Amino acid sequence: MTEQDPIAQTLSNMDRGCFITVEGIEGVGKTTNIEFIRQYLSGFNIPLVVTREPGGTGIAERIREILLDHDQETLADDTELLLVFAARAQHLNRLIIPALARKEWVVCDRFTDATYAYQGGGRGLSVDMISQLENSVQGDLRPDMTFILDVPVELGMSRVKNRGQLDRFEQEQHDFFERVRQTYLMRAQASPKHYRVIDASLSLPEVQKSLENALSLLLVSRGIK
């Protein structure tokens, strides 16, 4: 999204759909809980798009394969960062922004917080560079609400190991995920209005009760409930 992009220009000044993102380290239960969010919002007849990053469109999914697959040639950290934002630019311009402009709600499995957490916290890349790319690709667009599903690293990793073959990120070590987790928590602490940290080590009904409470407040704030 650039200053010249007409959709971006209109979007920042219009009443658009709500943009919700769901984050966390591997093995926090994002898939199950995003399905819960989808069902809960559908109960209010909210037009909804559920999508994911990296990915969400045909081209962005192809970039995802490069990011997640193992290759004989190792991916340089800078390449990884630029590919994440290349996929995001495509996803935003072709799916997220048009949906929000149609006043649909968008629920996205990971977004730019994941870049701060994985490329910034995990890989140690410059936060300034991430922030510059964020501003250039997204303009003013930021999620309205980000749920951070939080579990201790040991628990997340043990859940992932039961899934079978590990992708390029899942094979990282404990310290990497500890930095990722701490980055998420610091970001939430810095901006409590836009984040809810959910203790995802609790039972599923307890986790979903927390999600429901937060979603309910969001619906009230939007005049839907």
Single out the segment in contact with ligand TMP by CB under 6 A; choices: 51-59, 130-138, 183-191, 205-213: 51-59
Spatial distance between the Cα atoms of 188 and 33, rounded to a whole number of angstroms: 19
Question: In degrees rounded to 5, what are phi and psi of residue 78?
Answer: -65, -40
Choice between 112 and 208, CB closer to ligand TMP:
112
Choice between 74 and 213, CB closer to ligand TMP:
74
Site residue total, ligand TMP (CB under 6 A): 11
By CB under 6 A, residue 148 contacts ligand TMP = no
Least Cβ distance, residue 168 to ligand TMP (angstroms): 8
From 18, 20, 53, 215, residue interacting with ligand TMP (rule: CB under 6 A): 53
Least Cβ distance, residue 197 to ligand TMP (angstroms): 17
Choice between 16 and 91, CB closer to ligand TMP:
91
Helix (H) or strand (E) holding 1: none
Spatial distance between the Cα atoms of 54 and 60, rounded to a whole number of angstroms: 7
By CB under 6 A, residue 110 contacts ligand TMP = yes
Q: What is the DSSP secondary-structure string of 82-135? A: HHHHHHHHHHIIIIIHHHHHTT-EEEEES-HHHIIIIIIIIT---HHHHHHHHH
56: left (phi over 0), alpha (psi -120 to 50) or beta: left
Stretch 157-186 residues interacting with ligand TMP (CB under 6 A)? 169
Least Cβ distance, residue 204 to ligand TMP (angstroms): 19
DSSP class of 22: E
Least Cβ distance, residue 110 to ligand TMP (angstroms): 4
